[in-house]
Amino acid sequence: MVTVNEAKHLIVTQAAILPTETRKLGDSVGYVLAENLNAPLSLPAFRQSSMDGYAILHSDITALGTGLKLKGESKAGQTDLEILDSGLAMRIFTGAPVPDGATAVVMQEHTRIENGMVFIDEFPVPEGKNVRRIGQQIMAGTVALTAGTYLSPGGIAFLQGLGITDIQVCRKPKIGLLITGDELLKPGEVMVPGKIFESNSGMLAAALKQEGLGEVEIGYAADDLHATIEALEKLVEKNDIVLASGGISVGDYDFVGDAVKAVGADTVFYKVRQKPGKPLLFAKKHEKLFFALPGNPASSLVCYYEYVLPAIRKMTGRTDLFLKALQLPIKYGYAFDGERDEFLKASIADDHVIPLDGQESFSIRSFALADAIIYLPVTQNKVAAGDLVEVHLLPF
């Protein structure tokens, strides 16, 4: 049995970044850049006005109310501007090119128009005021984004503004999910005594989709060693990570551990000193990873967030592997016995974290209401209201 921290270290050490692929920029949100990208052009590529107003020569403004003759206009997208001479002003709009000769833009709220003249109700006017310089955002030839950058919508917009259309990213892993248990009914089947509706496939597929992994291959196996091996072999053949839900404890009908060995995977660890989620198995075959998760839904989801998610992020090239952690005061006191760290489903309100009712490993309703997980090591097995605890923020 390993500790929580030992398990996390072993997983991120064994997980390897996947090969790169070329993707269209518009289909790359949520991916990680696999190379440094240099800017092919400067942004802005020309001097732009940051205001609606009038382009002028700042040196023409010698006193409050200086008048300049109005000549022409510059609108966004215009390319045929004349040089602006001293004593003249040009109407200009936000984002439009600043004409050669002009050294500043005065916003229209600080001007008056009378008989074809523009009177400037501002003095002095600094050189460069309201003018976006060439390359103010980035200069051509410099690094726009570095390898390892997670591509957010803002990143997509930035690269598209540079005219970039195709990029190299780290590939995302293909995921196979094995569901075991003779007691389970698939959605839509008729309920009968002694059976339960299986929910872990929907839960884990949703969690994976939230991480940007929409294609999940799901297989089912009866509580039989041969059937479990056969189902596992099919998933191993086509996927980078295989998750098994259930069948990993020490019961007479728990066959996943033996099946993992049968398909040639080497066990890295089995069992973590934690509650819930103690019977977690992590194994590896070449670069393929195996996670045998507990069958109880809450246990399975805790293990996904704390262990599977970091492995996925490592394989996709991300550096922020774990859930965001912070210290918050706990709303109510909490104590536990034993020698295992505890994870508590929780919600955050009024700058406090609140342990929810229903902490049992089978209770998934509390997870439906949770936005955080409290992590309490055994060294912190008794906390009073107001004590600081480690909180892991669930992704939303």
Q: How far apart are CA 267 and CA 283, in angstroms?
A: 4
pLDDT score of 251: 59
| CA 241, chain centre distance (Å) | 19
Got the DSSP string for 200-232?
HHHHHHHHHHHTT---EEEEEE-S-HHHHHHHH
CB-based contact 51:198 (threshold 8 Å)? no
pLDDT score of 249: 66
Q: What domains, with CATH codes, occur in the chain?
A: 4-18+172-315 (3.40.980.10), 21-43+136-170 (3.90.105.10), 48-132 (2.170.190.11), 325-393 (2.40.340.10)
Cβ count within 10 A of residue 153: 9
CB-based contact 249:296 (threshold 8 Å)? no
Q: How far apart are CA 368 and CA 206, in angstroms?
A: 12
Please give the structure tokens belonging to residue 3. 């500790």
pLDDT mean by block of 10 residues, the chain; 396 residues? 97 97 97 97 97 97 96 93 96 97 97 95 97 97 97 97 97 95 78 85 94 91 89 94 82 77 95 95 96 93 98 96 98 94 97 94 92 97 97 96
H-helix or E-strand spanning residue 24: strand 20-24
Nearest partner of 126 among 71, 57, 184, judged by Cα: 57
Sign of CA dihedral 198, 204, 205, 210: positive
pLDDT score of 253: 46
In this prediction the pTM is 0.89
Sign of CA dihedral 109, 115, 116, 117: negative
Give buried/exposed letters for 155-164 (b at 16+ CB in 10 A, else e).
bbebbebbeb
